[in-house]
Amino acid sequence: MTSDRMSRTRPVIAAAVSATGLGLLGALVTQLGAWYYQLHKPSWQPPDWLFGPAWTLIFACAALAGVIFWRAERDRRARMRIIAAFTINALLNVVWSVLFFRLERPDWSLDEVGFLWLSIVALIVLLSRASGKAAALLVPYLAWVTFASVLNWKIVQLNAPFFSGG
């Protein structure tokens, strides 16, 4: 493989592996057990089967946004900032799932989701400096997390109070 082709392929592979890894990690920490099914949920909550495809599309768009940014931005420091921003966002994404599903604390996940939402806004701002197209690819992610935040709030409202240990 030529050096030019490798330099064009490497960010695609890195983005695909990162997005797939994050999706798998999210799936591993998301357990829809008896506790989850006993929660009172609003009538407008999407069916459980929709969440997997929605997250797959969101992560694919995020990976593509990262690749577009990487190809448009030549400044090494800007590239490192975007990697750091995506890493922080990924950690916040996983922490939300851990809080909600593993620790069974929708109230804590509701507090945390604000940080996740802000991390998406930060990503959009950072990406827009090099590519409006890359930034636009994260708008569905922001919309989904906004919707999920409202859903999280409603679940807390319908089921509070929560206590550690279930």
Domain edges within the chain: 3-30+46-159
155's tokens:
């679940």
- Can you give the pLDDT at residue 6? 64
Q: Mean pLDDT, to the nearest integer, of 63-88?
A: 94
CA dihedral sign, ordered 57, 63, 66, 70 = negative
pLDDT in tens, 23-60: 888 888 888 899 999 999 999 999 999 998 999 999 99
- Of the pLDDT bands very low, low, confident and very high (cuts 50, 70, 90), residue 61 is very high
- Sequence-distant (≥ 6) Cβ neighbours of residue 93 within 8 angstroms: 22, 26, 116
